[in-house]
Copies of this chain bind each other. A is one copy, B any other.
Amino acid sequence: MTADQAFPQLTDPLENRLGYQLRRASAVMMADLGRLLAPLDLTPAEATILILIGANPGCSQSGVGRSLGINRANMVPLIAALLKQGMVEKAPLDGRSQALTLTSAGRAKVEAAQRIIDKHEARFQALLHGSNRDALIAALHAIRAG
């Protein structure tokens, strides 16, 4: 018995649903990125936080959270892990805020992560040979704003 006889495909009324396909496609890319970043001991969330701090030295923890859609409470253990690993430093900004910057170890990690992410993105973009990649990004921005 062949595999496709053993598991006949179900009729899928969700094939043409934007929200559903967005979710499944996102899951595929997230899982791939997670596998690729694991050897660096980074999760996709940690990598995006490091990238954002690298591009915005002196930013606050809440600012990072607002930008990434992660709420303040959930930023605490994420930043704590990056501090513990020596990738991020805090410096008092005013009495309540702390300015975040990357350490040199953090900068090295970000560069390694960026190289991995670049390859990962290029691999998926290559699958979109027909469609316009910029139009896809523009569509995703429009959906986010909706």
Contact = CB atoms under 8 A, between A and B. Distances in A.
Number of copies of this protein chain within its complex: 2
A122 to B, nearest CB: 10
Nearest to A13: B55
Interface in A38-94: 48, 51-52, 54-56, 59, 63-64, 66-67, 69
A106 B17 CA distance: 21
Contact of A124 (B25, B27, B133, B143): B143
The secondary structure that dominates the A interface is helix
A130 interface: yes
Given A22-B25, A26-B26, A7 B127 contact: no
A100 to B, nearest CB: 11
Contact of A144 (B10, B21, B33, B56): B21
A7 B139 CA distance: 26
Contacts of A28: 143-144, 146
Interface of A: 7-30, 32-33, 48, 51-52, 54-56, 59, 63-64, 66-67, 69, 117, 120-121, 123-125, 127-128, 130-133, 135-146
13 contacts: A14-B51, A18-B121, A18-B125, A19-B26, A21-B140, A21-B144, A22-B25, A23-B30, A24-B140, A26-B26, A124-B146, A131-B142, A136-B136
User: Which 4 pairs show the lowest CB-CB distances between chains A and B?
Assistant: A21-B140, A19-B29, A25-B143, A26-B26
